[in-house]
Amino acid sequence: MITFFNDRHALHHGKMEMFRGELVPCFEVPSRVDHVLKELKARQLGAIESAPELADTSAITRVHSQRYVDFLTGAWDEWVALDPSNAQRDAIPSYWPIRTFRSDVLPASFPARMGLFSFDAGSPLTSGTWTAARAGAGCALAAARSVAGGERAAFALTRPPGHHAGVDFFGGYCFLNNAAIAAQALRDTGLDRVAVLDIDFHHGNGTQAIFYGRADVFTTSIHGDPRTEYPYYLGYADERGEGEGLGFNRNLPLARGTGFAAWREALAQALQGIADSKAQAMVVSLGVDTFAGDPISGFGLQSPDYLRVGEDIAAAGLPAVFVFEGGYAVAEIGVNAVNVLDGFRQRAG
């Protein structure tokens, strides 16, 4: 299994985030990826290719809107232009256009535009965010092209993560939706139908929203019940798609405290949905914040369980692009993420 590693990921390193009413040090830190990379090398899981090219904006705008990409491209410079001292602190949104507010008019005010293109105050934008995100999208594209070219699996090891980013918004630490970019890239190589399997603790609201009206990309997610878990406003079981996409979205929300046996049953249901959709390849949003020791999540998986997760995904028999997402128990993240990949490799042969 080849890994495409974003060696520019640390350019995005937020200082503080808003969490439960107070500013706290960011949970999403560069060492997350460093631990996974170290474990990959220790276990010799396959070739590691660094520094793919930054994703071209034409590939990014296959899933994200042009005006959102334009905003991200110049956001940091605009932030510093407001006040030179802003160069020493991250930009965090503080205004949002909720119900009855307009979103079609692009405000001249930078803080207003930042709110227009975001949905939380927990995702600081830094001087290196755009470069890191574009490099991560480049990893996702490289992994998708590798699988489309005949590889059984490939891994995009990158941060910031992506599955909360929608067509025109960031949040949940995510700025570009790497899984969606990879899925679209697989479609663009000629595959008729692909699937996205999201196994992060938090619902992949951005991925769902991007493909919700489409029948060519089946999306399915196993996650914490949105009645109590972030991102709260999507991820319910009755969200099945709309229009042509009706029946091509499946959510499997689970209660806080769910252990591996029940979680694995949900995985079986998700994989059956993928089989029924006639997908020819899958993209896996690989979050390991389902781990029992994760500080901001709430499932009970243990490190050996992730080997079984990889085996079950491999048993589906589809080529797979793995894209790194969440996981905030930093000391264990390398073992947990690589266990999924190792389990897949062992079962796939």
Cβ neighbours around 88 below 10 Å, total: 8
Asked whether the beta carbons of 201 and 326 are under 8 A apart, the reply is yes
Number of continuous H segments (helices) and E segments (strands) in the chain: 10, 10
Cβ neighbours around 109 below 10 Å, total: 11
Write down the H helix ranges in 110-226: 110-116, 129-148, 178-188, 205-211
Q: How far apart are CA 264 and CA 257, in angstroms?
A: 14
List all residues 6 or more positions away from 112 whose beta carbon is below 8 Å from its beta carbon. Answer: 95
Q: How far apart are CA 167 and CA 37, in angstroms?
A: 29
CA-to-CA separations, 84 to 79, 88, 124, 131, 148, in angstroms, rounded: 9, 8, 18, 21, 46
Cβ neighbours around 9 below 10 Å, total: 25
The tokens 């938090």 sit on which residue? Answer: 202
Cβ neighbours around 343 below 10 Å, total: 21
Q: How far apart are CA 13 and CA 242, in angstroms?
A: 37
Q: Which of 80, 75, 64 is nearest to 123 (CA)?
A: 75
List all residues 6 or more positions away from 227 whose beta carbon is below 8 Å from its beta carbon. Answer: none
Bridge partner residues of 252 (DSSP): 222
Q: Which of 220, 199, 200 is nearest to 211 (CA)?
A: 220
Catalytic residues: 164
